[in-house]
Amino acid sequence: VLAQHRGDADGALADYIPELASVDPDRFGAALVSVHGRLYTAGDASTPFTIQSISKPFVYALALAEHGLEGVARHVGFEPSGEPFNAISLDPESGRPENPMINAGAIVTSALVSGSGPDERFERIRAFLSVCAGRELDVDEDVWHSESVTGHRNRALANLALAAGVMTRSVDDACEVYFRQCAIRVTATDLAIMAGTLADGGVNPCTGVAVLDEEITRHVLSIMLSCGMYDESGEWAVRVGLPAKSGVGGGIAAVRPGQFGIGIYSPRLDEKGNSVRGVAALRSLAADYDIHLLSQPRVPRSPIVHSSVEGDRWTVVLRGEIDFISAEEIIAHIVGHHDDPDRRDAELWLDTAGVTRVWPEALRALTAVVARLRESGRTVAITDPSGTFGRDR
Ligand code: GLU
């Protein structure tokens, strides 16, 4: 994929933060981490660059972990703004920034992170992003200072949020931490691992460290899907269909929940602020490999490996992950054959040794059906050596 797009020199380096214009424009690298923790890299996957806006979903996650969804929602909303990243965009009624992926929302979110002063708050952010990346990340001091002396528009946004009553710190304090968080240095490999952490339900797939709980991970991914690619988020959802976040440093992190995380770096940006070759590469991947989140699963998997009657025992052997649709199939099978002449008087044995996970909604439905069968007089035994079926997931 990189070879296919390497020759594309369209776009321009971001220069509104002067120091960003000093990077090598030709660098192009990508990395993918599977949820099994295996890393694949190509091109300049270990070239450092500043994370910029890709810090936003992770700092949002940190704020959610500290304050909960409702606590954060009092300060920043969930709606795609459809406007550029630096838009003066506050909800006219609540005064909240529309979402945490635009600058106004990200500055307010960053200010929600606890700590007694800017240094302590920044350190919490840096440490958190480092655990997501699986290594200690540092800051590009030049980029930080460059944005600090030129970031008047972001200060204006912070002032508006302060005036609207949704900002919890002084403007200078909030902006310094935000500028510094944007100047954290990463590589495409780091971004892949950070995205992989979101793909694996909040567990860093390379270190095994549980960083976030699954629910927070889901909140963050939802916002990334609707708002992560600036005012191109709608088209991105159609063409690529992965929760993603880009930054004006040239990085993109994309997540295929349950499967992999991708990090891409190429610093020339389109007019929306997204990496030109990064977007092109992810579009190619999506077109060639059908990685869209909403793609129809093609292979109908039956959770029932085997169902037979021997003597007075009816054995149903189950396997794999039992989600809603698998539970529906199991229930239809059992209930549908409940009155077959050869099964009517048999004991039902559900063998779940091959089941890897049962989703809560599936467990509820199956438990209710088993209870009803028992009430109707049938003996139902569940062999559950690993306890998978007994737990609520
Ligand atoms: N530090 C940058 C800014 O606030 C981040 C913008 C971005 O990456 O979209 O302007």
H-helix or E-strand spanning residue 353:
strand 347-358
Q: What is the pTM of this model?
A: 0.90
Long-range contacts, stretch 357-360, CB < 8 angstroms, 24+ apart: 357/321, 357/322, 357/388, 357/393, 358/321, 358/322, 358/327, 358/388, 358/389, 358/391, 358/392, 358/393, 359/321, 359/322, 359/323, 359/324, 359/327, 359/393, 360/392, 360/393
Whether 56 sits among the annotated catalytic residues: the reply is yes
pLDDT, residue 88, reads 81
pLDDT, residue 305, reads 95
Q: Which residues line ligand 1 (CB under 6 A)?
A: 52-53, 85-86, 103, 147, 154, 182, 247-248, 273
Name the catalytic one among 230, 275, 279, 358: 230
Residue whose CA is at the smallest distance from ligand 1 atom 6: 53
Of ligand 1's listed atoms, the one at least distance from the Cα of 85 is 9
Whether 60 sits among the annotated catalytic residues: the reply is no
pLDDT, residue 392, reads 39
Backbone angles phi, psi at 368, to 5 degrees: -65, -40
How far is CA 148 from each of CA 173, 265, 383, rounded to the nearest angstrom? 11, 24, 63
Q: pLDDT class for 119, splitting at 50, 70, 90?
A: very high
Name the catalytic one among 178, 275, 279, 355: 178
Q: pLDDT class for 117, splitting at 50, 70, 90?
A: very high
What are the structure tokens assigned to 367, written together? 């438990």
Q: pLDDT class for 94, splitting at 50, 70, 90?
A: confident
Nearest to 40 by CA among 207, 202, 206: 206
DSSP helix/strand/coil, 186: strand
Nearest to 254 by CA among 240, 268, 266, 267: 240
Whether 53 sits among the annotated catalytic residues: the reply is yes
Whether 248 sits among the annotated catalytic residues: the reply is yes
Nearest to 389 by CA among 365, 356, 341, 361: 356
SS (H, E, C) 291-320: CCCCCCCCCCCCCEEEEEEECCEEEEEEEE
What are the structure tokens assigned to 164, written together? 């609207």
Q: pLDDT class for 390, splitting at 50, 70, 90?
A: low
pLDDT, residue 393, reads 32
Q: pLDDT class for 83, splitting at 50, 70, 90?
A: confident
DSSP type of residue 90: B
**Distance between CA atoms of residues 250 and 143, nearest Å:** 14
Choose which residue among 122, 147, 178 to substitute to test ligand 1 binding: the one with the highest number of ligand atoms within 8 A of its C-beta: 147
- pLDDT tens for each residue of 218-276: 999 999 999 999 888 899 999 999 999 999 999 999 999 999 999 999 999 999 999 99
- pLDDT tens for each residue of 182-210: 999 999 999 999 999 999 999 999 999 99
Looking at per-residue pLDDT, the higher value among 335 and 87 belongs to 335
- Cα 272 to averaged position of ligand 1 atoms, centre (Å): 12
SS (H, E, C) 210-238: ECCCHHHHHHHHHHHHHHCCHHHHHHHHH
